[in-house]
Amino acid sequence: MSDTPVALVVAVADNGVIGVRGGLPWHISSDLKTFRRLTMNKPLIMGRRTFQSLKKPLDGRDNIVVTGNKSFRPPGALAAANFETALALARRCAEARGVGSAEIMIIGGTQIFEAALPMANRIYKTEVHGRPEGDVFFSALEAADWQELERTPLPKGPRDDFATTFVVLERVGRDSEPSL
């Protein structure tokens, strides 16, 4: 079970922005559909503010919320005191769903991305071609650590604020994730 891959799912604007005032700084319908397809039936790990921005737990997925607030009881989700506990819980959830080798999906925010990045095997990144205002940013990746597997330009649709490019990155030079 410890070999369950860890993947980040993130949408990043050209200026590094990933959030503003507790939400997304854009509406991109096509990206939301991609997010749903990528994460369905998989455990999700997120921070408390990310969970609260969703308004409700995401259906068909195990929602695991990392929070230092011991009294926070997320309705329809599981709480974990730290990232390591959340990761262990996600592995148990994947096993219980019968998808033990499925990816554990890390969906934000910044602190959760930073905790997961050293052990991440893959990144599903939507490059948002715009420079929206924001107050939450995604750290730059070390290019030598990642190999691009896929790049798919997606034109701006009628329900999208920006055109995007969907990129899949895989970690280079590691057969498996480090143990905790």
Render the burial of 143-174: b for 16+ CB within 10 Å, e for the rest: eeebeeeeeeebeeeeebbbbbebbbbbbeee
In one-letter notation, the amino acid at residue 119 is M
Whether 90 contacts 66, CB under 8 Å = no
pLDDT of residue 55: 85
Output the domain CATH number for residue 145. 3.40.430.10
Q: Does residue 176 lie in a domain region? A: no
Mind listing the pLDDT tens digit for each residue in 121-156? Answer: 999 999 999 999 999 999 989 999 999 999 999 999
Q: Identify the domain containing residue 125 by its residue range.
A: 6-171
Q: Is the pLDDT of residue 179 over 50?
A: no
Distance CA 4, CA 80 (A): 18
Q: Is the pLDDT of residue 166 over 90?
A: yes
Percentage of residues in the chain with pLDDT exceeding 90? 83
In one-letter notation, the amino acid at residue 7 is A
User: Of 88, 97, 101, 90, whose CA–CA distance to 176 is shortest?
Assistant: 101
Q: Does residue 25 lie in a domain region? A: yes
Q: Does residue 49 lie in a domain region? A: yes
Distance CA 8, CA 170 (A): 11
Q: Does the pTM exceed 0.85? A: yes
User: Of 100, 115, 129, whose CA–CA distance to 5 is shortest?
Assistant: 100
**Count of domains observed in the chain:** 1
Distance CA 128, CA 156 (A): 10
Q: Is the pLDDT of residue 180 over 60?
A: no
Q: Does residue 61 lie in a domain region? A: yes
Helix (H, G, I), strand (E, B) or coil at 34: helix
Residue 136 is encoded by which pair of tokens?
């939450």
Q: Does residue 137 lie in a domain region? A: yes
Whether 4 contacts 91, CB under 8 Å = yes
Q: Is the pLDDT of residue 61 over 80?
A: yes
Q: Does residue 180 lie in a domain region? A: no
Q: Does residue 179 lie in a domain region? A: no
Q: Does residue 1 lie in a domain region? A: no
